[in-house]
Structure 1
Amino acid sequence: MLAPRPLRDADLSWVEGVFTDVDGTLTTSHRLHSTTVRALERLAAAGLKLVLVTGRPAGWGEAWARTLPVDGVIVENGGLLFLRGHGGKLRKVYAESPKVRVANRRRLEAEVAAVLRQVPGARLSTDSAYTEVDLAVDYNEEARLGEEAAGRIEALLSARGVMAVRSSVHVNCWLGRFDKRSAVRRFLKLAWGLRLEPGDKRFVYAGDSFNDAPMFGEFALSVGVANVRRVLDRIDTPPAFITRAEEGRGFEELARAILAQRGRRAPRGVRP
């Protein structure tokens, strides 16, 4: 497995859009700082597309889509997404049909409840009440279960046929054939009629944890904020590049690098 290269080695001069995780990537110590919001604003003002990709609930995603300078939000690890439709109207798209969602939700709640009874102190995250597709077990937000307990929760859920993967704060769990990667592919097609190509320099992905590994493999320009080092020895696919700073400051570092390189690139239409 190749170690991530320093961010300074990345060619970001042709980046047109940024897809980014939220917890531990935009947030710092669980807070979204004004300097990180300003980094998003500067990217948007420069004409870049911005899409959040998170395990957080649909309710959070709709609020972000309406209040932050972003073009879309993918939530619940790919279970649904928000994008701008005709006239700027917010459009909500699910990964699966209503019938399938209802059946999966019923079973998911039962499977997760059974696992929670097996792990002392385990409970749903407080924001699971606002989810529509997945559920989240809190191990590092308000709860302090630790990595060992989080790993046990993942293993128990997987043994019951439930998709389970950690973010920096929760063990996200769901039933269905979707994840962050499939949702990004769908978003690109629906929003802009595009798809990622091998070695694509138009889009970058930023993340920090286990559930970002599929995205690190999908994007040639994948960037881990520095706190990703804590899980590098345990994720399937590492990011191609890594920032010096952690969490939101790492994202701000990435934003500065993108804007600086775009300002120095060759004339429009002349690609390397």
Structure 2
Amino acid sequence: MTGPLVNAVGVRKSFHSHEVLKGVDLSVDTGQVLCLIGPSGSGKSTMLRCINHLETISGGYLTVDGQHVGYERRGTVLREIPAREAARRRAEIGMVFQQFNLFPHLTVVENIVEAPIRVRKQKTAPARARAAELLDQVGLAHKADAYPRQLSGGQQQRVAIARALAMDPKLMLFDEPTSALDPELVGDVLAVMADLARSGMTMLVVTHEMEFARAVADEIVFMAEGRIVERGRPDDVLSRPTHERTRSFLARVSTAGRERSSPRPDIPPPAAGHRMVE
């Protein structure tokens, strides 16, 4: 593949008369970690859901690895493809939500192997072996036979990450994965995500964890009112924002004390330049 792994051009999304995304241009290169920040209602989560075709777009176009996830191009027109084909393409994109969405009647390991066996048609033994590796990776090897109700929120979210990774995705989307957690449980989940970033996984993360974004992201994108306002290296956007809307948001976040104590992995910032988008 040439070009970015994720490529969004002029993406618009409306819910009835309310336009949530207003012509968003966004690209994510293979191996890049990009964090989306901004106030509630700015369109961050909707953007993720459009990438994964959990929401249909109203305008523009969006590709992952050169393919439209839920569409095919016929001449100059994009048409939705059958649900089965859309699901097949979506299987290459892992997504972790605010809520854990684990099957309560299945054990941890059963939750992880469900999709590889049913969707990828993997044999049970290799699927369970891979699940064991992933549970060890997220620090929960000892919880393989537990049920979700026996886990803390942070443990459930780490299982959700392992479940997404079991499909060997080329892209991981995180939609505020720590927002439903008690503050003392946030650090373990962020540490798993930081390790994943170090491994070279392409990640697009919607987060309010500013110190995590500063430490892990290659680039930070600030959104407001359905548009990208500012983007650049973490230290530039968070410490030296050039747009008043960005400065106002960061000041409110700081005043509210939203930044929590969490591990700050030692990942150096990239060399990419900072730019403002009007």
TM-score by length of 2: 0.32
Higher strand share: 2
Task: Return the TM-score normalized by structure 1.
Answer: 0.32
Higher relative contact order (CA 8 A, sep 6+): 1
